[in-house]
Amino acid sequence: MRRILVAGNWKMHGSTAMVQDLLEDLLAGVDKQSDVDMAVFPPFPYLAQARSVLNGSSISWGAQNLNPISQGAHTGEVSAGMLLDFGCRYVLAGHSERRAIYGETDEDVADRFEAALASGLEPVLCVGETLEERERGETEAVVERQLDAVLRRCGVAGFERAIVAYEPVWAIGTGKTASPEQAQAVHAFIRDKFVSQDDIIAGQLRILYGGSVNGSNAADLFAREDIDGGLVGGASLKAEDFLAIRNAVA
Ligand code: PEP
């Protein structure tokens, strides 16, 4: 049985005071025993704060990116080992903003996924099509290409300890959510792709939906057979809104 995961990507938002309040409010709003898992992805400088507030709680934390190299002369970069040093469980790989703004290719994303796995982090592989790609009928081809780059590198076994997040680019931060039917269709496509390689891994794989998830649409989305939770941007920056998403399914 796959547990629902509600994960908050805080992107480049926050300050010490804001992060402290948000973490404490989230902690106060969740019970230790819950059927729903929660995780937050603060910017790098706030990972120590996440560890100090969340340690021992039911909320996990992770980072939004990593450099696949373990150490060296790479000014401005952060390695998997450093993330583990701050107690991270997860790391995002291939968020569409990294792909679009910072030019990360499918191979760059595979490098990050592979380095995360090798270090013991659980990568969250983000995939998804742009509006133009959807309108050209290329959604499945794009998602498949993004998955294949990682599958070629790490094999299906690489997904035993990983998560996939389907995030249609046109739905991220736009207020335009994919309908539960649209999202489920792509999630089923993703799961079927894994079924053809290893049905046990496919059955266990958590596939999150991301793209303008909020307290009003979460229950409908997460009720679909192949949608195992959400990767939430904007609505994860306010404890009340983020908890509303969690409480919609808890
Ligand atoms: C995201 O940042 O991954 C995301 C899905 O953002 P939003 O929920 O704001 O669309």
Tens of pLDDT, residues 59-111: 999 999 999 999 999 999 999 999 999 999 999 999 999 999 999 999 999 99
Residue 175 CA to ligand 1 center (angstroms) comes to 9
pLDDT at 35 over 90: no
pLDDT in tens, 201-224: 999 999 999 999 999 999 999 999
Q: Which of 9, 92, 237 to mutate to test the pocket of ligand 1 (most atoms within 8 A of CB)?
A: 9
SS3 assignment for the chain: CCCEEEEEECCCCCCHHHHHHHHHHHHHHCCCCCCEEEEEECCHHHHHHHHHHHCCCCEEEEECCCECCCCCCCCCCCEHHHHHHCCCCEEEECCHHHHHHHCCCHHHHHHHHHHHHHHCCEEEEEECCCHHHHHCCCHHHHHHHHHHHHHHHHCHHHHCCCEEEECCHHHCCCCCCCCHHHHHHHHHHHHHHHHCCCHHHHHHCEEEEECCCCCCCHHHHHCCCCCCEEEECHHHCCHHHHHHHHHHHC
Instruction: Note the pLDDT of residue 129.
Output: 98
Query: Does residue 95 have an active-site annotation?
Result: yes
Mean pLDDT, residues 221-246 taken together? 97
Ligand 1 atom at minimal distance to the Cα of residue 213: 8
What separation in Å is there between the alpha carbon of 96 and the centre of ligand 1? 10
Q: Which residues line ligand 1 (CB under 6 A)?
A: 9, 11, 167, 172-173, 210-213, 231-235
Segment 97-150, tens digit of pLDDT:
999 999 999 999 999 999 999 999 999 999 999 999 999 999 999 999 999 999
Mean of per-residue pLDDT scores for the chain:
97
| 167 is a catalytic site residue | yes
Q: Is the pTM of this model over 0.95?
A: yes
Q: Taking residues 182-207, report their average pLDDT.
A: 97
